[in-house]
Every structure is written in C-alpha cells, then in structure tokens.
Amino acid sequence: MINLRGVNKKYRNTYALKNVNLDIQKGEFVFLVGSSGAGKSTLMKLLYREELPTSGNVYVSGVDVSKLPDNKVPYLRRNMGIIFQDYKLLEKQTIYDNVAFVIRALGVSSREVDNRVKSALKIVNLAHKMKSKPNELSGGEQQRVGIARAIVNGPSLLIADEPTGNLDPQTSLEIMEILDKINSRGITVLISTHDHAMVNHFRKRVITLEAGQVIKDVQAGTYG
C-alpha cells in the first residue's frame, strides 16, 4: 500500500527525512512515533503530496506520488482520509454539512450524500449530533467529526496526524478505538503520535523516527 524508497526531504540545510525506506501493507494499523521535529508530519505530507521529497520515491498503491502531475493529485487524495490534530472543522456549518460538503463537491447525489454522511456519523457515534455546530461539541466529539469526514468518501487509507494531540487520555482512547474499528473494516490506518500510553495500550506496529531517520520498526511494539 505504501512504499518509501530512499526518501530524503531537506529544508534549506536541514534534513527532515533522511534515507527513509518503508513498506506498509494494505489493512495494517501503524503508529508513527517520535519526538517533535522527528519528521512524522513531513512523512505524512509526502503521502498525500502536500510536500515533495528532495530525492527518493514515495509510492501509494503502486503509484509514485512524487511524480504525479498536479492535476492528478486530487484523485490521489480522494482515496485517502486525512485527520488533523486541530480538526479543521467549519464553525458556521452543522456537523452534517461538515461531513457532507466535500462529497457534495465531488458530485455525489443528495441521497447518496445523506446515506454516506449518516453512516459515517454512526461509525463515530455522533448520529444524534448531526444538527449541532462544532462549537457545541467537545474536543473529542469534534475529532470524531473529523474522522467521519475522512471516511465518508470510502478511502482505503486513513492518515491521522497527531489526532489525539489536543485531547485528554480518556477521549484519546475513544478516538483510537474508533480508528481501530475503522481499521478492522480493512482500511489501512497510519497514525502519527507521541502518546506513549496510547501506543503501548494498542500494541500495533510501531515505526520510530528520530532526526528524520527510521530507527525502529516493530510489530506489536511499544514506545518509550
């Protein structure tokens, strides 16, 4: 599903990623861990082509995304779900509209939008709050809306950049359980985090980055 080959990313004179080689199979649940500045976010941005590698190849489903023409990038992203630490919800829109507005833009029919949004909200246990506005929800609930939006288009890969960074341990656990549930449906999940407790609790594959390099890659691993 994801293959990185000799990937380097350099910002001016600093390497954010240095000779990274990585393979993630379809359906895996992977934690990407490391301290701040280790290169986790950069690696994730390479996957959805928000950044380009300085050298090396980044393959997603066999396609070298670093060589993907600009006009094809949206097609790559439609097959991914991206979850952000700061949720990135539209405050003036309802939860339903927040989840719906991207698939509406993709030309999905109203009935199909309705089905998909309700089903996504059900997965994150927020079906009862679809008419609320984001500011009426707790941080955890807002992140669940972010997850619903990420899965509403039926992606095969879910990328979550520090999804529990702003949440308390209990809420973080709930979020991780939802992501685990989504993974059990066959969706590949890649989560960047530096939450030791969470990583140790789930015992999934753990890839550790340090100063832009992969220093450890362990199945059912721990962190810290």
Partner 1 sequence: MANYLENIRPKISITQYRIALRVLIETFKGIKQAGIVNIFIIGTMAAILMIFGAIFRTSMSLSSLVNELGNVLEVSVYLKSSADPNQAAEQARQLSHVKRVKIIAKENSWENMRKDMQLPNIKNPLPDTLHVRVDSQKNIKSVADNLSKQSYVEDIRYAKDISEKIRVISDISHTATVIVLGIVGFLTMFIINNTIQLVIQSRKKEIEIMRLMGVSNWFIRLPYILQGSLYGMMATIIAIIPLSFLQGYIMQVHRFLGIPNSENSYWAMIFLLFVLSMIFGALGSLLSIKNKLKT
Q: How far is the CB of 204 from partner 1 (least distance, A)?
A: 21
218 near partner 1, rule: CB under 8 A = no
Q: How far is the CB of 24 from partner 1 (least distance, A)?
A: 13
Q: Which is nearer to partner 1, 19 or 61 (CB)?
A: 61
Q: Which is nearer to partner 1, 96 or 223 (CB)?
A: 96
70 near partner 1, rule: CB under 8 A = yes
What is the distance between the alpha carbons of residues 31 and 168, in angstroms, rounded to a whole number?
19
The residue type found at 151 is: I
Q: Which is nearer to partner 1, 79 or 213 (CB)?
A: 79
Using CB under 8 A, which of 62, 111, 186, 220 touches partner 1? 62
Strands of 80-83's sheet in order across: 80-83, 157-161, 188-193, 29-33, 205-210, 213-218
Beta strands 63-64; 205-210: pairing state: unpaired
What is the distance between the alpha carbons of residues 222 and 206, in angstroms, rounded to a whole number?
7
Three-state SS for 216? strand
186 near partner 1, rule: CB under 8 A = no
- Which residue, among 47, 60, 46, has the nearest Cα to 2 in the 3D structure? 60
108 near partner 1, rule: CB under 8 A = yes
Name residues contacting partner 1, limited to 71-90 (CB under 8 A): 71-80, 82, 88, 90
Quote the Cα angle for 50-56-59, to 5°: 60
Q: Which is nearer to partner 1, 19 or 153 (CB)?
A: 153
The residue type found at 178 is: I
Return residues touching partner 1 (CB under 8 A). 1, 26, 48-50, 60-63, 70-80, 82, 88, 90, 101-102, 104-109, 149, 153, 156-157
